[in-house]
Amino acid sequence: MAVNKTSGKGKWILIAIIVILVLLLASAAGWWFLLRPSAAPTPAQIAKEREAKVKFIDLGSLVTNLQSSDGSTHYIQVEVQLKTYDPSIDAKVKALMPEIRNSILLLLAAQHADQVGQPQVRTDLLNEIKKRVNGILDSDGGTLPAAQTSAKQPIAAVYFSSFVIQ
C-alpha cells in the first residue's frame, strides 16, 4: 500500500491561504459594520431639528396708501415676519433691508382698498412677498440673479403679525 504524504511545504501554503481568507473575511465584516448606513431619521426627528434652527426676522412696520375707487384716501399698515431655517440669512436680510422694504411697499401700494381685506388676497400677498424677498436674497444686490446653489429657498414662509386697513 502506498501512502501519499503531502509535503511539509504544501501544508504551510494551505494554512497560509486559509489564514489570509479568514483575515479578509474578518476585515470585510468589520468594514461592513463600520460603513453601513445608519437608520434614516424619522420625520419627527427631522421636524425637531428644523424647529431648533427656525429663526424669525422682523421687517418692522410698513405703512403706505392703497389704490381707491371711491376717491378717499386709504392706508395699509402691516408688520411682516420672515421665517428661515438658515441663521446666516439674518445678516443678509439686514444688509438688503432697504431693497426688501421698498419691494414690499410697492406691492402693497398697488393693492385696492376694497379687495385687500379678503383672505385670498392676503394669502396671495404673503406668497408674492416671499417670492420677492427670495428673489432679492438670491441676487447680487438686486440686479442680476445669482447662480442657484440649491433648490432650497432662503425664506421658508412669510407672516403678517399685524394687518390694518384704514
Kindly report, residue by residue over 95-144, the tens digit of the pLDDT: 999 999 999 999 999 999 888 889 999 999 999 999 999 999 988 655 55
> Looking at residue 20, what is its pLDDT?
93
pLDDT for 51 beyond 70: yes
In the chain, % of residues over pLDDT 70: 87
Identify the CATH number of the domain defined by range 45-165.
3.30.479.30
Q: What is the mean pLDDT of residues 146-152?
A: 56
* Three-class SS of the chain: CCCCCCCHHHHHHHHHHHHHHHHHHHHHHHHHHHHCCCCCCCHHHHHHHHHHHCEEEEEEEEEEEEECCCCCCEEEEEEEEEEECCCCHHHHHHHCHHHHHHHHHHHHHCCECCCCCCHHHHHHHHHHHHHHHHHHHCECCCCCECCCCCCCCCCCEEEEEEEEEC
| Average pLDDT of every residue of the chain | 84
**Strands 157-165, 74-84: pairing kind:** antiparallel
Q: What is the mean pLDDT of residues 60-68?
A: 90
Please tell me the pTM assigned to this model.
0.66
